[in-house]
Amino acid sequence: MPFDICVLGLGYIGLPTASIFATKGKRVLGVDVVPAVVDTINHGKIHIEEPDLDVLVRAAVQSGNLRAAGTPQPAGAFIIAVPTPFNTAGDGRKTPDLSYVEAAARSLAPVVAAGNLVILESTSPVGTTERVRDWLADELRRAGSPLDATRDLLFAHCPERILPGQMLRELVSNDRIAGGLTPPAAERARQLYATFCTAEIFATDARTAELAKLTENAFRDVNIAFANELSLVCERTGVDVWELIALANRHPRVKILQPGPGVGGHCIAVDPWFIVDAAPEQARLIRTAREVNDAKPHHVIAQVLEAAGKITGGAGNATGGAGKKVTVAALGLAFKANVDDLRESPAVEIVNELAKHTAAGGEKPLQLLAVEPHIRALPAKLAAGGVELAALENALARADIVLLLVDHAAFRAVQPAALAGKTLIDTRGFWHR
Ligand code: SAJ
């Protein structure tokens, strides 16, 4: 008997989605190209960190409704939830990398049947759902299949909106959009997600759904860029940015977000580029916001080098001259608080650059200690650069400079005495708040 649903990609979106469908009684096959992921899930375990996801996956696997495999099998509906990163061209232009989506779409050719619903859940540039249909149609033609993708299959884009750290709650309670290539496709997708989504599900066309998802993340990026730009204005004018924002936010129609060391993650730092790529002449504000946010890590790096220079006694010492190494305790590597996800993390970029930093004489003037309670081992590039993964207390005791990069709850335990006499660079206003 075919599965009810086959989910392609068992990452941060595919795994919770597959699991929640399974706990609602759907027979689900989860597909991933990484054998270790398939194995882990079939043992009822998880390979990513997200509150309560372990409990959900265990329940789904134990119920017998969720199984993982390396290739798709026949199902009533297919959900594609694979990554959509971008490539950077030689001239710096960012273009969407749809290779994972294309591979997933083509992999369905041997298993699809008339009446199947194919849902693209990956965040994608406008027009990608049409391309999914065309890739699959092409593969069916090559295989000599009698199926005609446009006539026999239904296609929809149903983007997710769940916030890492609160995924399971938001999966159920967030409104959703179901954008079909045809109205019947949108309706079928709407009905499918109503299996577990208790909020409203709005039917629309696929292109509107694609742009709506990109718009939501671009909106947040532009608003964070505003806060990050304010932090630079405040530094220049000698104003405390945290107090400024708190006061401005007392206006009934002002809600400024928080500055930080930059914007990370696989969504907000990526998705606005898909809009810029599609409409470069029009998306000027969206592009500038990306540039403002991408520049913030470089500003933090400059702040640390300046502080290190002061510690070693005068200009140039952090960047040149022999003498004592300055020890920097970098608190947090994840892209945001209370998650283990290091993808596109500004904290990783900052630590990596500081560790690579070489003084005029050729020596490295900084010793980097990274404190990240959510990981067990450093990313290879940091380890290779001489960064040491340290426990919080140990790092604080050894540090000349304490660089707060992520506002993890675990760092609340830091006592003021542990920071006494250290240079503090608090990129999140953590100790201010
Ligand atoms: N950040 C700031 N200041 C802020 C808020 C966030 O610097 O005031 C930084 C964070 O530290 C992080 C980055 O922005 O580096 C992104 O974090 P986030 O919490 O804003 O968003 P994500 O990437 O975890 O999740 C976003 C969400 N989108 C929106 O809020 C519009 C989520 O709902 C989406 O489902 C997700 O992207 C996604 O998968 O697209």
pLDDT in tens, the chain (433 residues): 889 999 999 999 999 999 999 999 999 999 999 999 999 999 999 998 888 999 999 999 999 999 999 999 999 999 999 999 999 988 888 999 999 999 999 999 999 999 999 999 999 999 999 999 999 999 999 999 999 999 999 999 999 999 988 999 999 999 999 999 999 999 999 999 999 999 999 999 999 999 999 999 999 999 999 999 999 999 999 999 999 999 999 999 999 999 999 999 989 999 999 999 999 999 999 999 999 999 999 999 999 999 999 998 754 445 444 567 999 999 999 999 998 899 899 999 999 999 999 887 888 899 999 999 999 999 999 999 999 999 999 999 999 999 999 999 999 999 999 999 999 999 999 988 6
What integer pLDDT is reported at residue 317 of this predicted model? 45
Question: 411: which DSSP letter?
Answer: G
Q: How far apart are CA 261 and CA 42, in angstroms?
A: 38
Could you give the residue numbers annotated as active site? 213, 267
C-alpha dist (Å) from residue 361 to 311, 327, 364, 383, 413: 18, 18, 9, 23, 39
What's the whole-model pTM score? 0.94
What integer pLDDT is reported at residue 268 of this predicted model? 95
Find, among 154, 152, 170, the residue nearest to 162 by Cα. 170
Name which residue sits closest to atom 14 of ligand 1, judged by CA.
263
* Burial (CB count within 10 angstroms: exposed 0-12, middle 13-18, buried 19+), residue 221: buried
- Cβ of 220 closer than 6 Å to ligand 1, yes or no, is yes
Q: Which of 13, 123, 157, 217 to mutate to test the pocket of ligand 1 (most atoms within 8 A of CB)?
A: 217
SS3 call for 326: strand
Q: How far apart are CA 370 and CA 345, in angstroms?
A: 14
**What is the CA(187)–ligand 1 centre distance, in A?**
29
**What is the CA(312)–ligand 1 centre distance, in A?**
37
What integer pLDDT is reported at residue 319 of this predicted model? 47
Cα Dmax for the chain? 77
What integer pLDDT is reported at residue 333 of this predicted model? 98
Helical (H) or strand (E) element with 330: strand 326-331
Q: Which of 336, 342, 374 to mutate to test the pocket of ligand 1 (most atoms within 8 A of CB)?
A: 336
C-alpha dist (Å) from residue 301 to 341, 366, 367: 21, 12, 14
- Cβ of 257 closer than 6 Å to ligand 1, yes or no, is yes
Q: Under a CB-based contact definition with an 8 Å cutoff, are residues 47 and 37 in contact? A: yes
Q: What are the residues whose beta carbons fall under 8 Å from the beta carbon of 384, sequence distance 6 or more?
A: none
Q: How far apart are CA 171 and CA 173, in angstroms?
A: 6
Helical (H) or strand (E) element with 138: helix 128-142
- Cβ of 335 closer than 6 Å to ligand 1, yes or no, is yes
Residue 338: left if φ>0, alpha if ψ -120 to 50, beta else—which one? left
What integer pLDDT is reported at residue 49 of this predicted model? 83
Question: Which atom of ligand 1 sits closest to the CA of residue 13?
Answer: 39
Domains and CATH numbers, the chain: 3-214 (3.40.50.720), 296-426 (3.40.50.720)
